[in-house]
Structures are given as structure tokens and as C-alpha cells.
């Protein structure tokens, strides 16, 4: 087990720089999730940690060693791939044993280790099967088993759940989290799914266009997003953004309404006022933000999403699941002042 | 029309399928299967192409069994098969394996390897024939002479002639096999190799445990395909030994050449047909044996 550090890590393909100086410290035993839209550089970063991609500049440090020039096998890592990369012509047992092929353990030690891992993953009865006879979730477990069997310092997961159906994904998510609690290795997990990131991570690294946008616990990135991108990427449905101007009295929205915030400032500047659908209420608690008519309702059971047409644009809010307002009804959406986020309109950065 | 509209969807599909299949079925029936069937019949007859056919039972096959030339030719045919197929398989795999890793001039090199496959066998055979000539004409013997090695009788020696004829045949087929192998190699997901890299196994393990097992369907195809090719070898041999087809002393004569010779120089159609039947059985058995040996589990 070991710490992992990335120091101004960059990656270029020819003239094109795709990763622009990533700095990150991961503590021993931490579960860190890289999340971002496709093309944000999260997988590239992971592959550079793994040693599958050359580092253009900067350093990858695992434990106390700079591993830039080490082969993947010398880095004390293991990786689980999106398509599992388990060999179709080998039994489950041989697949798991493949992870130990280059190890200097004795044959009986290897055997014991495979049995142990199969036990942990609850696959002892599957060891003689071929991958074609397994379900998607079981294949995923084989891939995890092959990584685990080597007992690496750092586990790397490259979107391992995206080929599974929704239900299985939720289940595997939980299993991986439990596994982490039990085994305690450092895990770097890449996903494009913010729900996966929120549910599994100790800390989330949100990336976009080769830059880290924010690093923080799930609670931090949700409740205190650093910029509009993070604010809208994390949380579903995503945060409402209302254009306005910040004045000494508070935020003046396009609709002309003034909303008091603690950001009030002498010099007027364009801002975006962010408020999560969850933080908007219909009951009138807090201060009124906007008034409009319900355009569409999306019942989800426990709650109903309502799309409200207002002068400031369309706003998504959550209403009660049993007694949602009718389509066309006029509603006033209110929010607590502490749940309002103010972002600079140009840079998108949060104003605190 | 009433009849058609009363059919179920499945039945309508069958009607259409047979509608489209009718032409090829007719074609294959008349052009392929009818002559093939006739060949089986002729193999039990004596016929000089113009005269009457007379039924002679198993006599052609008995004659075949007692014919030393047939056995020589039989052995030759298997020599072509047993040297040609493994050799071309290994060589084409080595080329494809390395070409696949190469980016620089990839397309150009692939074209160079494919070129012989597109070239006419006749032209190729004659060029190689020239390569094999004695000093001062032949390229190979000139090269040997230049470095002080005595010249080799390639096509005039009973021991060297068969490999010498086989070489251009192997070479001609390489391009096709290289392309098929490369398609097979490309179909193996990159992540298999990356996983192996992370597991830290060496290239030999990767080759023998991952690449080759995953290429099994490709290998089966190439082995069966090239075996059939070598068992039916004709044009290279015929063109490289025109003044004495299959010579010297039948040392290069394959079965197809013998069939041709007996049928169209000797006009002994029955005897030739009997050999065709034998060739058919050999092809069938060899193909079945290969499919069985290389079956996936």
C-alpha cells in the first residue's frame, strides 16, 4: 500500500496537449474517483499512472518512487478494464492465475492466494468455468479477482461498470465499495457517471478538458462547487443557473427581482445565480426566487420534478411525489439564502 | 396470388429465399454437381472422350493401386502439402505479426506482400524459372557463384526440383495469408495486451497464451484454405517444368498434373476420373481432419 502523487503531469499527442499539468495527492488507502465528460483526460491520467501511456512531463509517484520510466509490472499496480479484458479461452481460475504468472511465489502459495481471492469475491464455485459461461457481473468479478490476486499497492479501475445494466451497476458499485473497506488498498476509479463518483468516493476529482476542476469529498463538491461546471456536472437534475447582476443590494435577476445574498458587493458585475432543484421549495420557506408556471411534470415516485417556465428561463424544482402542482399552475419557488451559489459569469468561478 | 397471401410470414420468407436461391442452385447443379457426379460414374468406365463408354467396374482403381507413377505422384502431392502449408503458415504469421506492430510505411509494405498474390501464376513461374537457371543466366546461381559456392541444379535435380517449384507457390500465397492474419490480429482487443502488460508477463507468454489461442479461427481458416491450395497445385509446376511437365522423372508431378496428363494427353478419361475421385477423397479427409484437430472446445 502506498500514497500516490501526480506532479504537474502533462500529456501531449504530437502538438496537442490533452492534459495540462495535473497535481494530486492520494493518501494511502484512499478511494479516489476521477469523473468528467468523455475526452476530459481522466482515462489518459489513469493510463499514465498504469504505465500504459508515456508521461510527457511531470511525475507519477507511487510510494516514494518516481515511476515515470518503470514498466507497468514494476509499478505495483493492478488495473481493471472497461471490457474486463479477461481471456475467453482460459478458465476463471487461469484468468486469475494470469495475474500471478510473473510472480516468484511458489506454486502452492499461488494456489492458496487464488483460493483466497475467489473466496473474497464469492466465486469459488465458478473457478472452472469459461468466461462465456458467466454473466456480466461475474466477468467483472473475475477481472477484479485478477487484479486483487497480486495484492497491488494501487488498484486502477477504468470505467469498469459502464458495460453493465443499471441494476447490476448499482450492485457492483456496492460490492467494490465493500471490497475497499475490507481490503483497504488505494483505489483510483475512473467513471463518467457522477452518481458512481458520489456514492463510492472518499474524494472526487472532477476533470474537464485536461484540467482538474475541483477535488473534494462528495459533500464538498455537491454543496460547495468551485465553478459552474462542477455545479452542473454533480447532482441530478443539474443545478439551475439564473443570469443576473451582483449589486450592493444583492443579486438582480433578469426578471428584475432582487435577491439578498451574502455576496453583495459595491461594484456591479454579471453573475450566474445557482440553485439546486432540491433546495427550491414551493412552501414559501426562505426567500422567493422566481415565479412561473409549471410546464412539465416528471413523476419519480417519491418526488416529482417540475419544469417551471419563468421570466428568468426554465427552472427545474422538486415537488412532493403525492401532491405535485398541476401543469399550468402558477408556483413561487423559494430557497434558503445559504443554499444559493453565486458564480462569476465570465470565468464561472464561485464567488465566496 | 391468393395462394401467396394466405401464406404465413415464415412461409413467405421461404418462398422469397428460394426465389433468390434458385439461380445459384441451378448454376451449381449444372456447372458443378452434375459434372462431379458424372466424374464418379466415369471413374468406373473406360472412355477415350470420343468413343463409347464401357463399364469396367473397379478396374481403374485397381490399375491406380498398381501404378508406381501414381504412388510417386501421391507422395509428391503430400510433400507439397506437408512442406507448403506449415511453412507458409509460419512465414505469413511472422510477417503479419511484425507488420502489425509497424506504423512506418505500413500500407506500402502490405502492398508489396500482397503483390505476388495478384500476379499471374504463369508469369511468376516463368520468372522464377529464370531465377533457377544455371550460370550465367540464373539469378540464384549467379549469386552463389559470386560468393564462391558451386552452382545448384534447382529444377534439373530430382531432389531439389520439388522444393524449388514449391517456393514460388508459397511466396505467391503469402500476401493473402498475411492480410488474413493481420485482420485476425487486429480483432484481438488491445486491452488484452494491456492487461498482460500490467500483469508483467513476457512477450513469449503473450504470444503463446494470448495471441495464438485467440487467432485460432484465423489459423483454422488459413490452414484449411492453404492445404486445399497445395493439394490442388498445378499451374506453378506445369509452367516451371513445361518441357517435361512434372519432371524430372515425375519428381515434381502433383496429382492434378497427372490427371491432366492422362485425361488430355492420354485421353484415358476413366483412369483420370478415378484419380479425381481419389483427390476429392483426400481433400475431404484432410479438411475434416484439420477441422477436427483445430476445433474449438
Shortest distance between the Cα of B218 and any Cα of chain A, in A, equals 15
The residue from A232, A267, A300 where one domain ends is A232
Question: Is residue B265's pLDDT more than 60?
Answer: yes
Per the document, the length of chain B is 297
β-strand pairing of A341-344 with A330-335? unpaired
User: Hey, how many other C-beta atoms are within 10 angstroms of the C-beta on A115?
Assistant: 14
Query: Tens of pLDDT along B68-107?
Result: 999 999 999 999 999 999 999 999 999 999 998 888 888 8
Give the whole-number percent of chain A exceeding pLDDT 90.
Answer: 41
Q: What is the ipTM of this complex?
A: 0.81
Quick check: B199 and A88 CB within 8 A? no
Quick check: B192 and A87 CB within 8 A? yes
Quick check: A102 and B200 CB within 8 A? yes
Mean pLDDT to the nearest integer, B172-179 = 91
Could you tell me if B179 and B99 are in contact, meaning their C-beta atoms sit under 8 angstroms apart? no
Q: What is the pLDDT of residue B287?
A: 86
- CA-to-CA distance for A315 and A282, rounded, in angstroms? 13
- CA-to-CA distance for A171 and A200, rounded, in angstroms? 12
Cis amide linkage into residue B282, ω under 30° from 0: no
Query: Tens of pLDDT along B6-63?
Result: 888 999 999 999 999 999 999 999 998 999 999 999 999 888 888 888 888 888 899 8
Q: Do residue A225 and residue A242 come from a single domain?
A: no
**Nearest of A191, A170, A174 to residue A182 by alpha carbon:** A174
- CA-to-CA distance for A218 and B6, rounded, in angstroms? 64
**Nearest of A244, A41, A250, A80 to residue A176 by alpha carbon:** A80
- Cell numbers found for residue A199: 456514492
Does any domain span residue A351? no
**Quick one: which H or E segment has residue A46?**
helix A42-50
Number of domains in chain A: 2
Residue of A nearest to B201 (CA): A102
Shortest distance between the Cα of B110 and any Cα of chain A, in A, equals 26
Quick check: A98 and B201 CB within 8 A? yes
Query: Tens of pLDDT along A27-61?
Result: 999 999 999 998 899 999 999 999 999 999 999 99
CATH of the domain at A337: 2.40.50.140
Backbone angles phi, psi at A54, to 5 degrees: -70, 140
Q: Do residue A263 and residue A181 come from a single domain?
A: no
Quick check: B197 and A73 CB within 8 A? yes
Q: Do residue A131 and residue A179 come from a single domain?
A: yes
Backbone angles phi, psi at A276, to 5 degrees: -75, 145
Q: Do residue A216 and residue A113 come from a single domain?
A: yes
DSSP characters for A56-103?
Answer: SEEEEEETTEE-TTS-GGGGTEEEE-TT----TTS-HHHHHHHTTTT-
Candidate from A51, A73, A82 with C-beta closest to B199: A73
Poorest-pLDDT segment among A180-189, A278-287, A339-348, B178-187: A278-287
- CA-to-CA distance for B163 and A271, rounded, in angstroms? 83
- CA-to-CA distance for A26 and B71, rounded, in angstroms? 76
CA angle (B284 as vertex; B283, B289 as ends), nearest 5: 100
Q: What is the pLDDT of residue B22?
A: 92
Question: Is residue A266's pLDDT more than 80?
Answer: no
Q: What is the pLDDT of residue A197?
A: 92
Query: Tens of pLDDT along B214-252?
Result: 998 899 889 988 999 999 899 999 998 888 888 788 889
Could you tell me if A28 and A64 are in contact, meaning their C-beta atoms sit under 8 angstroms apart? no
Candidate from B194, B195, B201 with C-beta closest to A102: B201
Q: Do residue A185 and residue A329 come from a single domain?
A: no
Q: Do residue A8 and residue A121 come from a single domain?
A: yes
Backbone angles phi, psi at B38, to 5 degrees: -60, -40
- CA-to-CA distance for A230 and A218, rounded, in angstroms? 11
- Give the single-character DSSP code of B127: H
Could you tell me if A213 and A226 are in contact, meaning their C-beta atoms sit under 8 angstroms apart? yes
Candidate from A72, A87, A99 with C-beta closest to B210: A87
Shortest distance between the Cα of B97 and any Cα of chain A, in A, equals 20
Residue of A nearest to B215 (CA): A89
C-alpha distances (whole Å) from A53 to each of A46, A291, B205 are: 9, 52, 22
- Contact status of B191 with chain A (Cβ, < 8 Å): yes
- Contact status of B190 with chain A (Cβ, < 8 Å): no
CATH of the domain at A168: 3.40.50.300
Backbone angles phi, psi at A289, to 5 degrees: -105, -55
- Cell numbers found for residue A208: 474537464
Does any domain span residue A257? yes
The band of A213, judged by pLDDT with boundaries at 50, 70 and 90, is: very high
Does any domain span residue A131? yes
Does any domain span residue A312? yes
The residue from A200, A232, A264 where one domain ends is A232
A–B interface: beta-carbon pairs under 8 A: 59
Mean pLDDT to the nearest integer, B266-271 = 90
Q: Quick one: chain B helix, strand, coil %, rounded to 5?
A: 75, 0, 25
- Contact status of B106 with chain A (Cβ, < 8 Å): no
Residues in chain B closer than 8 A to A151 (CB atoms): none
CA angle (A245 as vertex; A241, A249 as ends), nearest 5: 115
- CA-to-CA distance for B173 and B167, rounded, in angstroms? 10
CATH architecture of B62-293: Orthogonal Bundle (1.10)
Q: Do residue A227 and residue A245 come from a single domain?
A: no
Does any domain span residue A352? no
Distant-in-sequence contacts of A39-44, Cβ < 8 A, 24+ apart = A39/A209, A40/A207, A40/A208, A40/A209, A40/A210, A41/A11, A41/A207, A41/A209, A41/A210, A42/A190, A42/A192, A42/A205, A42/A207, A43/A158, A43/A159, A43/A190, A44/A11, A44/A18, A44/A19
Does any domain span residue A173? yes
Mean pLDDT to the nearest integer, B199-212 = 89
Does any domain span residue A142? yes
Q: What is the pLDDT of residue A253?
A: 84
Shortest distance between the Cα of A130 and any Cα of chain B, in A, equals 10
Quick check: A79 and B198 CB within 8 A? yes
Residue of B nearest to A146 (CA): B199
Question: Is residue A335's pLDDT more than 80?
Answer: yes
Q: Do residue A131 and residue A163 come from a single domain?
A: yes
- Contact status of B199 with chain A (Cβ, < 8 Å): yes
Residue of B nearest to A81 (CA): B191
Shortest distance between the Cα of A19 and any Cα of chain B, in A, equals 21
- CA-to-CA distance for A127 and A115, rounded, in angstroms? 9
Residues in chain B closer than 8 A to A104 (CB atoms): none
- CA-to-CA distance for A95 and A134, rounded, in angstroms? 13
Query: Tens of pLDDT along A137-163?
Result: 888 889 988 888 888 889 999 998 888
- Domain residues for the domain of A220 are 4-232
Residues 6+ apart with CB under 8 A from B99: B106, B109, B110, B113, B178, B182
Q: Do residue A299 and residue A323 come from a single domain?
A: yes
Candidate from B198, B201, B210 with C-beta closest to A50: B198
B14 HSE (CA, 13 A, CB side): 6
Could you tell me if B290 and B65 are in contact, meaning their C-beta atoms sit under 8 angstroms apart? no
Cis amide linkage into residue A107, ω under 30° from 0: no
Q: Quick one: chain A helix, strand, coil %, rounded to 5?
A: 25, 35, 40
Quick check: A102 and B192 CB within 8 A? no
- Give the single-character DSSP code of A267: S
Q: Which residues pair with A274 in a beta bridge?
A: A241, A341
Shortest distance between the Cα of A48 and any Cα of chain B, in A, equals 12
Residue of A nearest to B189 (CA): A85
CA angle (A321 as vertex; A315, A325 as ends), nearest 5: 55
Q: Do residue A130 and residue A227 come from a single domain?
A: yes
Q: Do residue A227 and residue A254 come from a single domain?
A: no
Question: Is residue B297's pLDDT more than 70?
Answer: no
Quick check: B199 and A82 CB within 8 A? no
- Higher pLDDT: B65 or B246? It is B65
- CA-to-CA distance for B147 and B141, rounded, in angstroms? 10
Could you tell me if B184 and B215 are in contact, meaning their C-beta atoms sit under 8 angstroms apart? yes
**Nearest of A87, A102, A73 to residue A143 by alpha carbon:** A87
Residues 6+ apart with CB under 8 A from B19: none
**Quick one: which H or E segment has residue B227?**
helix B216-231
The residue from A193, A215, A232 where one domain ends is A232
Where exactly are the structural domains of chain B? 2-42, 62-293
- Contact status of B213 with chain A (Cβ, < 8 Å): yes
Q: What is the pLDDT of residue B222?
A: 92
Shortest distance between the Cα of B202 and any Cα of chain A, in A, equals 8
**Quick one: which H or E segment has residue A331?**
strand A330-335
Q: What is the pTM of this model?
A: 0.80
- Give the single-character DSSP code of A173: H
Shortest distance between the Cα of B208 and any Cα of chain A, in A, equals 12
Could you tell me if A33 and A93 are in contact, meaning their C-beta atoms sit under 8 angstroms apart? no
Q: Do residue A216 and residue A250 come from a single domain?
A: no
Could you tell me if B294 and B225 are in contact, meaning their C-beta atoms sit under 8 angstroms apart? no
- CA-to-CA distance for A142 and A310, rounded, in angstroms? 52
Does any domain span residue A104? yes
Amino acid at each position: 500500500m502506498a500514497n500516490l502523487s501526480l506532479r504537474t503531469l502533462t500529456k501531449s499527442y504530437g502538438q496537442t496537449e490533452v492534459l495540462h499539468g495535473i497535481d494530486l495527492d492520494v493518501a494511502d488507502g484512499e478511494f479516489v474517483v476521477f469523473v468528467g465528460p468523455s475526452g476530459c483526460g481522466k482515462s489518459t491520467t489513469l493510463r499514465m499512472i498504469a504505465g500504459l501511456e508515456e508521461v510527457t512531463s511531470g511525475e507519477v509517484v507511487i510510494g516514494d518512487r518516481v515511476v515515470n520510466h518503470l514498466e507497468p509490472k514494476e509499478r505495483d499496480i493492478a488495473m481493471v478494464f472497461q471490457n474486463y479484458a479477461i481471456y475467453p479461452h482460459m478458465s476463471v481460475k487461469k484468468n486469475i492465475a494470469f495475474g500471478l504468472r510473473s510472480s516468484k511465489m511458489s506454486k502452492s502459495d499461488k494456489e492458496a492466494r487464488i483460493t483466497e481471492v475467489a473466496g473474497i469475491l464469492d466465486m469459488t464455485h465458478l473457478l472452472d468455468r469459461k468466461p462465456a459461461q458467466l454473466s456480466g457481473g461475474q466477468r467483472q468479478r473475475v477481472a477484479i479477482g485478477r487484479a486483487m490476486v497480486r495484492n497491488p499497492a494501487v488498484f486502477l479501475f477504468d470505467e469498469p461498470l459502464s458495460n453493465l445494466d443499471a441494476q447490476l451497476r448499482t450492485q457492483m458499485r456496492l460490492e467494490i465499495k465493500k471490497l475497499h473497506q475490507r481490503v483497504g488498498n488505494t483505489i483510483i476509479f475512473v467513471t463518467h457517471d457522477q452518481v458512481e463518483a458520489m456514492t463510492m468516493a472518499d474524494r472526487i476529482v472532477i476533470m474537464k478538458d485536461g484540467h482538474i476542476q475541483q477535488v473534494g469529498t462528495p459533500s464538498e463538491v455537491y454543496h460547495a462547487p468551485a465553478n459552474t461546471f462542477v455545479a452542473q456536472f454533480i447532482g441530478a437534475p443539474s443545478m439551475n443557473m439564473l443570469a443576473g447582476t451582483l449589486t450592493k443590494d444583492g443579486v438582480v435577476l433578469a426578471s428584475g427581482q432582487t435577491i439578498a445574498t451574502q455576496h453583495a458587493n459595491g461594484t456591479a458585475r454579471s453573475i450566474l445565480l445557482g440553485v439546486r432543484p432540491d433546495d427550491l421549495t414551493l412552501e414559501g420557506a426562505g426567500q422567493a426566487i422566481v415565479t412561473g408556471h409549471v410546464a412539465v411534470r416528471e413523476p419519480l415516485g417519491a418526488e416529482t420534478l417540475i419544469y417551471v417556465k419563468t421570466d428568468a428561463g426554465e427552472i427545474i424544482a422538486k415537488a412532493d411525489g403525492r401532491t405535485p402542482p398541476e401543469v399550468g399552475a402558477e408556483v413561487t419557488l423559494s430557497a434558503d439564502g445559504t443554499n444559493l451559489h453565486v458564480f462569476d459569469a465570465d470565468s464561472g468561478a464561485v464567488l465566496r | 396470388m391468393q395462394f401467396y397471401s394466405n401464406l404465413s410470414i415464415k412461409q413467405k420468407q421461404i418462398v422469397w429465399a428460394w426465389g433468390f436461391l434458385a439461380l445459384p442452385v441451378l448454376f451449381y447443379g449444372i456447372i458443378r454437381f452434375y459434372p462431379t457426379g458424372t466424374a464418379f460414374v466415369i471413374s468406373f468406365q473406360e472412355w477415350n472422350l470420343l468413343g463409347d463408354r464401357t463399364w469396367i467396374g473397379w478396374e481403374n482403381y485397381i490399375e491406380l493401386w498398381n501404378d508406381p507413377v501414381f504412388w510417386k505422384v501421391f507422395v509428391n502431392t503430400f510433400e507439397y502439402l506437408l512442406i507448403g502449408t506449415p511453412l507458409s503458415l509460419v512465414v505469413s504469421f511472422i510477417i503479419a505479426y511484425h507488420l502489425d506492430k509497424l506504423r512506418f510505411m505500413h500500407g506500402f509494405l502490405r502492398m508489396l506482400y500482397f503483390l505476388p498474390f495478384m500476379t499471374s501464376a504463369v508469369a511468376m513461374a516463368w520468372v522464377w524459372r529464370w531465377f533457377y537457371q544455371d550460370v550465367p543466366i540464373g539469378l540464384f546461381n549467379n549469386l552463389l557463384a559470386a560468393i564462391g559456392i558451386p552452382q545448384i541444379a534447382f529444377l534439373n535435380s530430382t531432389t531439389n526440383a520439388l522444393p524449388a517449384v514449391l517456393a514460388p507457390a508459397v511466396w505467391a500465397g503469402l500476401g493473402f495469408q498475411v492480410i488474413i492474419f493481420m485482420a485476425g490480429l487486429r480483432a484481438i482487443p488491445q486491452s488484452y495486451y494491456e492487461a498482460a502488460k500490467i500483469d508483467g508477463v513476457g512477450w513469449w507468454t503473450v504470444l503463446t497464451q494470448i495471441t495464438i489461442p485467440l487467432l485460432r479461427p484465423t489459423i483454422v481458416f488459413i490452414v484449411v484454405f492453404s492445404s486445399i491450395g497445395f493439394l490442388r497445385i498445378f499451374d506453378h509446376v506445369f509452367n516451371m517444368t513445361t518441357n517435361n511437365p512434372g519432371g524430372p522423372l515425375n519428381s515434381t508431378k502433383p496429382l492434378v498434373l497427372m490427371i491432366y496428363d492422362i485425361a488430355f494427353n492420354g485421353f484415358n478419361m476413366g483412369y483420370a476420373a478415378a484419380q479425381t475421385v481419389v483427390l476429392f477423397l483426400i481433400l475431404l479427409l484432410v479438411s475434416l481432419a484439420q477441422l477436427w484437430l483445430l476445433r474449438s472446445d
